[in-house]
């Protein structure tokens, strides 16, 4: 090791020894993990390597950051700009931690490699945390890059402090989420933990998303060009304000209270790290060991699996065009029911969907009658298309599994209808998640806007479904459960969700324009939609060149 390397690694070594982590174990494990992340599978026929995939993804995140800058640019007050940005970052990093990296943290696939060796819970937890942080850090830094350039041009040195704040912010939210997980593990047994984790994820998703809504609502209601930040006692309780104060203080632009915010940022981050690693980490090995151990199928689950649902079988017969497509449907649903990692990604999304509806509608308890009357006159029902699109998200995670080798079945199956599996899988997700979500949303929609908007809703829902199917074709999505879950692909799911939602924005615009015309146009388009959807499915099924698995 060179002198420079020693100097550079000194802070990390101090940090590790403070946390009581075995430095040598930590370094060898992290190095091995990073090495494996970027090694291409020997039989890979992908044109781009893993590094290129990651770089492409980070570039798109930077583009999203640039779009976000457009709204931040209008805020004249630096402190407020920073607070809003960090609030967004906290929600974003929290979301990605909940939906994409929770499964990495509690991954049991390496139990037989690590658990028989003398590695402490503390070391193993911190290795996984830093491993995840590297990826979340990359994503959040990419997202923050446009804003940091803006800050560098306008304020100079503050950009560096801002980027350091971004890193600390990602660490803060990660530790907060994991701290809550590990606190929960104290209340339930290690074997029970994996069962309750999904519920906790959904709960946390709701809390994170709901808390964020305070900021944009506040801004939306005010004249943005004249907003300034004023210190108040309660602002010191808001994490995004801590990081904003941290940045201003560190860059020498701090005012009165910023030193307090700086100290809170540093203090909370250190305290969080110490509490998590020194106190809560002790049961970590037990959690992953018991998660990976033999599970007992609950008696009621056995009954559920064995139970025939004649109505569902009839629906599947009606909607599927071939036996392979039916198999694709059944195969996908059994996977979703039994794959915990898949559920960990999928279920928090429904919490986001419902929260999004509440945010759009902004229910006001005071003067409820006037509020409802005003809402009924608006076109806010169009916003349900965004919330409904969450029901399609499952489609983008279907290709990933822990057992990609099992996909040899696609290679040996004596059928030329491989892609019927794909269309069957899409139908299963749309029928099981997308359709019920819309049916659920029809209740408030009809209550508030009446049945007259029904054609618009059906049109928007159908267009969303068609978009979801087309995205599979456009993105050349691999066959169901044929790809390994790779660290470099993490972030892709959230990215697809954001890009998909941007496209739903176009659908909202289209339906709005249609709603301005005679209702007959909507009804006519609704009649056409089944044909369009059938065409989209044909596109999926007609793929001839097999994607090598």
Partner 1 sequence: MKQTSIHIRGLRKSFGKGADAKEVLKGIDLSIESGQIIGYIGPNGAGKSTTVKILCGILTSFEGDIEVMGIPLRNNAIEVKRKIGYVPENGALYEALTPAEYLNLVGTLFDMSSSLIGERTDSLLKYFEMSQHANQRMDTFSKGMKQKILIIAGLINNPDILFLDEPLSGLDANSVILVKDMLTRLAKQGKTIFYSSHLMDVVEKISDRIILIDNGQVIADGTFEELQQDSKASLEQVFAKLTGGEERVGESGILDEVFKN
Question: By the criterion CB under 8 A, which residues form the site for partner 1?
Answer: 24-25, 28-29, 32, 35-36, 39, 41-42, 110-120, 189-192, 285-286, 289-290, 293-299
Q: Which residues make beta-bridge pairs with 400?
A: 483
For residue 228, CA distances in Å to 78, 80, 150, 158, 458 come to 8, 7, 19, 19, 43
C-alpha 471, offset from chain centre:
18
**105 near 185, Cβ under 8 Å?**
no
Tell me whether residue 15 or residue 38 sits nearer to partner 1 (CB atom): 38
Tell me whether residue 41 or residue 505 sits nearer to partner 1 (CB atom): 41
What's the min distance (Å) between Cβ of 198 and partner 1?
Answer: 17
What's the min distance (Å) between Cβ of 404 and partner 1?
Answer: 12
Other CB atoms closer than 10 Å to residue 247's CB: what's the count?
34
Other CB atoms closer than 10 Å to residue 11's CB: what's the count?
9
Tell me whether residue 142 or residue 482 sits nearer to partner 1 (CB atom): 482
What's the min distance (Å) between Cβ of 375 and partner 1?
Answer: 46
Tell me whether residue 112 or residue 544 sits nearer to partner 1 (CB atom): 112
**219 near 84, Cβ under 8 Å?**
yes
Tell me whether residue 33 or residue 231 sits nearer to partner 1 (CB atom): 33
**120 near 16, Cβ under 8 Å?**
no
What's the min distance (Å) between Cβ of 111 and partner 1?
Answer: 6
- CA 177 to CA 104: how far, in whole Å? 14
Tell me whether residue 117 or residue 518 sits nearer to partner 1 (CB atom): 117
Tell me whether residue 298 or residue 314 sits nearer to partner 1 (CB atom): 298
Residue 170 token pair: 């990602």
What's the min distance (Å) between Cβ of 535 and partner 1?
Answer: 41
What's the min distance (Å) between Cβ of 290 and partner 1?
Answer: 6
Compute φ and ψ for 74, nearest 5 degrees.
-75, -20
Do strands 400-401 and 483-484 pair parallel, antiparallel, or not at all (unpaired)?
parallel
HSE of 454 in the Cβ direction (CA atoms, 13 Å)? 9
For residue 153, CA distances in Å to 159, 235, 357 come to 9, 28, 38
Give the 3-state secondary structure of 31-97: HHHHHHHCCCCCCCCCCCCHHHHHHHHHHHHHHHHHHHHHHHCCCCCHHHHHHHHHHHHHHHHHHHH
| Longest distance between any two alpha carbons in the chain, whole Å | 77
What's the min distance (Å) between Cβ of 298 and partner 1?
Answer: 5
Residue 438 token pair: 């819309």
Q: Which residues make beta-bridge pairs with 401?
A: 484
What's the min distance (Å) between Cβ of 115 and partner 1?
Answer: 4
What's the min distance (Å) between Cβ of 293 and partner 1?
Answer: 6
What's the min distance (Å) between Cβ of 118 and partner 1?
Answer: 4
* Residue whose pair of structure tokens reads 């298309």 in the numeric block: 385
What's the min distance (Å) between Cβ of 285 and partner 1?
Answer: 7
Tell me whether residue 153 or residue 296 sits nearer to partner 1 (CB atom): 296
Tell me whether residue 77 or residue 107 sits nearer to partner 1 (CB atom): 107
Tell me whether residue 2 or residue 223 sits nearer to partner 1 (CB atom): 2
For residue 74, CA distances in Å to 219, 225, 227, 228 come to 11, 6, 10, 12
Under 8 Å CB-to-CB from 189, ≥6 apart: which residues?
A: 290
Ramachandran sector of residue 75 (left: φ over 0; alpha: ψ -120 to 50; beta: rest): beta
Tell me whether residue 95 or residue 285 sits nearer to partner 1 (CB atom): 285
Tell me whether residue 303 or residue 443 sits nearer to partner 1 (CB atom): 303
- CA 241 to CA 98: how far, in whole Å? 23
Ramachandran sector of residue 394 (left: φ over 0; alpha: ψ -120 to 50; beta: rest): alpha
What's the min distance (Å) between Cβ of 85 and partner 1?
Answer: 37
- CA 64 to CA 44: how far, in whole Å? 30
Compute φ and ψ for 400, nearest 5 degrees.
-95, 140
């Amino acid at each position: 090791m060179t002198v420079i390397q020693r100097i550079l690694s000194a802070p990390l070594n101090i940090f590790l020894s403070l946390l009581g982590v075995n430095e040598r174990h930590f370094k060898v494990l992290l190095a091995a993990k990073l090495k494996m992340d970027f090694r291409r599978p020997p039989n890979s026929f992908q044109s781009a390597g893993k590094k290129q995939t990651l770089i492409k993804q980070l570039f798109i995140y930077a583009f999203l950051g640039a779009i976000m800058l457009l709204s931040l640019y209008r805020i004249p007050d630096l402190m407020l700009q920073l607070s809003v940005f960090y609030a967004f970052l906290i929600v974003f990093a929290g979301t990605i931690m909940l939906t994409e990296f929770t499964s990495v943290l509690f991954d049991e696939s390496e139990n037989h490699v690590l658990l028989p060796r003398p590695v402490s819970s503390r070391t193993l937890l911190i290795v996984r945390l830093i491993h995840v942080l590297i990826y979340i850090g990359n994503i959040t830094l990419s997202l923050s890059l446009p804003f940091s350039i803006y800050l560098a041009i306008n304020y100079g040195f503050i950009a560096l402090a801002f980027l350091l704040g971004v890193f600390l912010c990602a660490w803060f939210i990660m530790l907060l989420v994991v701290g809550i997980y590990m606190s929960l593990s104290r209340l339930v047994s290690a074997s029970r933990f994996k069962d309750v984790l999904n519920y906790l994820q959904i709960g946390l998703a709701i809390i994170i998303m709901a808390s964020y809504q305070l900021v944009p609502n506040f801004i939306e209601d005010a004249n943005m060009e004249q907003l300034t930040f004023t210190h108040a006692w309660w602002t010191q309780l808001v994490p995004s304000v801590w990081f904003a104060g941290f940045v201003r203080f560190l860059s020498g632009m701090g005012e009165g209270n910023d030193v307090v915010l700086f100290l809170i940022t540093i203090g909370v981050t250190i305290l969080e790290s110490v509490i998590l690693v020194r106190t809560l980490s002790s049961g970590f090995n037990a959690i992953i060991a018991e998660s990976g151990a033999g599970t007992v199928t609950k008696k009621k689950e056995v009954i559920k699996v064995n139970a025939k649902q004649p109505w569902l079988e009839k629906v599947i017969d009606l909607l599927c065009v071939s036996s392979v497509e039916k198999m694709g449907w059944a195969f996908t649903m059994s996977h979703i029911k039994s794959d915990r990692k898949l559920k960990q990604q999928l279920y928090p999304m429904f919490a986001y969907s419902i929260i999004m509806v509440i945010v759009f509608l902004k229910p006001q308890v005071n003067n409820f009658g006037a509020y409802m009357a005003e809402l009924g006159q608006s076109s806010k029902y169009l916003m349900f298309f965004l919330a409904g699109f969450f029901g399609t998200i499952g489609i983008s995670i279907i290709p990933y599994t822990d057992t990609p080798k099992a996909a040899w079945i696609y290679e040996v199956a004596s059928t030329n209808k491989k892609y019927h599996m794909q269309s069957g899988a899409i139908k299963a997700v749309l029928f099981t998640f997308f359709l019920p979500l819309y049916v659920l949303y029809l209740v408030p929609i009809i209550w508030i806007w009446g049945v007259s908007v029904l054609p618009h809703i059906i049109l928007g829902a159908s267009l969303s479904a068609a978009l979801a199917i087309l995205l599979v074709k456009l993105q050349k999505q691999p066959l169901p459960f044929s790809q390994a879950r790779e660290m470099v692909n993490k972030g892709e799911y959230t990215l697809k969700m954001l890009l998909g939602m941007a496209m739903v924005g176009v659908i909202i615009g289209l339906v709005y324009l249609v709603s301005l015309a005679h209702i007959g146009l909507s009804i006519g388009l609704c009649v056409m939609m089944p044909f369009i959807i059938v065409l989209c499915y044909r596109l999926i099924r007609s793929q001839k060149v097999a994607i090598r698995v």
